Amino acid sequence: MGAKKLRKLIVNTKEFLWKCNFSRGEVCKSTLTIYLTKEAKIIIMFFARDTFTCGNPFNEGFPMLKNNEVVQINLKEPKYAEELIN
């Protein structure tokens, strides 16, 4: 898994940096890192089985239940990092 460039995310006028890394094997690992400050960060790891078509499901759209509605989660989209901060 190579180093990913940090991306900017603005939530309620405050700027954060974040990145999402993916690795594949028997089990796919997705790591979402949100830098709250230089000293504090949130690291969330997601594990799922490799999919038949494209590989890591968190990179292509993973079905999850949110407010009793099925949504497709793609960790490369900043709106999911923003929801975790709020």
pLDDT digits (tens, 9 = 90+) for 33-78: 899 888 999 898 888 776 666 666 677 777 888 899 998 888 778 8
pLDDT reported for residue 68: 93
Determine contact, residues 78/85, Cβ cutoff 8 Å. Answer: no
* Residue 32, pLDDT above cutoff 80: yes
Distance CA 30, CA 9 (A): 19
Q: Quick check: pTM over 0.85?
A: no
pLDDT value at residue 71 = 86
Higher pLDDT, 21 or 51: 21
Report the pLDDT value the prediction gives residue 43, as an integer from 0 to 100: 92
| More confident position, 30 or 59 | 30
DSSP state of 34: E
CA–CA distance from 13 to each of 10, 77, 81, 83, 85 (Å)?
6, 19, 15, 14, 12
Quote the pLDDT of residue 70. Answer: 92
Please answer whether residues 72 and 61 qualify as being in contact, where contact means their C-beta atoms are separated by less than 8 angstroms. yes
Tell me the C-alpha distance between 71 and 12, whole Å. Answer: 24
